[in-house]
Amino acid sequence: MNPPKILGLGSACWDTLLEVHDLPGPGGKAELFGECGLPGGQVASVLVGCCRLGLGAAMLLRTGDDPAGARVRAALAAAGVDLTHGRIVAAAATATAYILRDSAGERAVIWRAPDAMAVAADDVAAAMLDGVDALFFDGRDGGACLRLAQWARARSIPVIADLDCVYPHTAALLPWIDHLVAPAEFPLAAAAPCPTVVITHGRNGAEGHEHGGERLHLPAFPAAVVDTTGAGDAFHAGYIFALLQGWPLPARLRFANATAACACEAVGAQAGLPTRLQVDARLACGPA
């Protein structure tokens, strides 16, 4: 029997990690003491995380025909992400991000996603959801996300979203999202149409509620933090995995918190994304 499969739409990029002792404030300076390139992007990393946990994944990937695009595609393929729906855009630059990481593992991100990397509404088809058990997106490509979400709703396929930006089309998209999993900066009032809302608080864990249910808060798991870059992506992967097991909200939050803790213990967005065995080990020794 094949494992549950996720279809993802959204960011995939090549990260340049810049290591500094302290993140500079406005007008400040920081000495650079390390630099490396790594695959990243919130949707790409979530799908890699899903594969590590034993799920299937496919991505509506867009990359340029540049070296960065080749590296992004290679990393996703090596993790097991199906790129059948991917496209290489000629004479275009792949999305990139520059990540400043301090000695405590905290980071700041500067990113660029060229218009050529967008997936248009006409690029998607209902048949892309054949054999898919969940749809995940970051909400950037509004028309494509909306069409897929509406088709998913018609097929009773859950729609999970990570919205860390509010776009002009976000309000139209929210009623079609079944599980909104967003950072604390997201305006909670806008999330009212979503049946399940989960807010992540980094080292302070996560909270969530379902319509008609109580608001729950579960603490984060202890971690030897090296880099927090992939923590949110790992949380989403863990949440999706737990959702597709049919687990209730408290178990979903706990599993996602444990997945995020594991991811913080390696450099970059994808290197520390854990396997199911690694998450189970963290669950066995973490908070109740």
What are the residue boundaries of the structural domains of the chain, listed by start? 5-22+34-278
For CA atoms 169, 172, 177, 180, give the dihedral sign: positive
Q: How many residues does the chain have?
A: 288
CA distance 214 to 86: 40
Which has the closest alpha carbon to 161: 117, 118, 193, 128?
193
pLDDT on residue 236: 98
Alpha carbons 233 and 97: distance in angstroms, whole number: 15
The upper half-sphere exposure of residue 222, i.e. CA atoms within 13 Å in the direction of its Cβ, equals 6
The pTM of the full predicted model, rounded to 2 decimals, is 0.96
From 270, 203, 279, select the one nearest 230 (Cα to Cα): 270
Position 51 scores a pLDDT of 98
CB atoms within 10 A of CB 175: 13
> CA angle, corner 143, sides to 141 and 147, nearest 5?
115
pLDDT of residue 88: 98
Q: What is the pLDDT of residue 190?
A: 86
For the chain, the three-class secondary structure string (H helix, E strand, C coil) is: CCCCEEEEECCCEEEEEEEECCCCCCCCCCCEEEEEEEEECHHHHHHHHHHHCCCEEEECCEEECCHHHHHHHHHHHHHCCECCCCEEECCCCCCEEEEEECCCCCEEEEEECCHHHCCCHHHCCHHHHCCCCEEEECCCCHHHHHHHHHHHHHCCCCEEECCCCCCCCHHHHHHHCCEEEEECCCCHHHHCCCCEEEEECHHHCEEEEECCCCCEEECCCCCCCCCCCCHHHHHHHHHHHHHHCCCCHHHHHHHHHHHHHHHCCCCCCCCCCCCHHHHHHHHHHCCC
pLDDT at 213: 84
Distance separating alpha carbons of residues 89 and 66, to the nearest angstrom: 9
- β-bridge mates for residue 35, sequence order: 18
pLDDT value at residue 105: 83
The CATH architecture to which 5-22+34-278 belongs is 3-Layer(aba) Sandwich (3.40)
Q: Under 8 Å CB-to-CB from 105, ≥6 apart: which residues? A: 225, 226, 227, 228, 264
CB 135 within 8 A of CB 52: no
Return the residue matching tokens 């990937």: 61
Tens digit of each residue's pLDDT, the chain (288 residues): 789 999 999 999 999 999 999 999 999 999 999 999 999 999 999 999 999 999 999 999 999 999 999 999 999 999 999 999 999 999 999 999 999 999 988 889 999 999 999 999 999 999 999 999 999 999 999 999 999 999 999 999 999 999 988 899 999 999 999 999 999 989 888 888 999 999 999 999 999 999 878 899 999 999 999 888 889 999 999 999 999 999 999 999 999 999 999 999 999 999 999 999 999 999 998 775
pLDDT at 288: 58
**Sign of the four-CA dihedral 230, 234, 235, 236:** positive
Q: Tell me, what's the pLDDT at 287?
A: 72
Output the pLDDT for position 23: 93
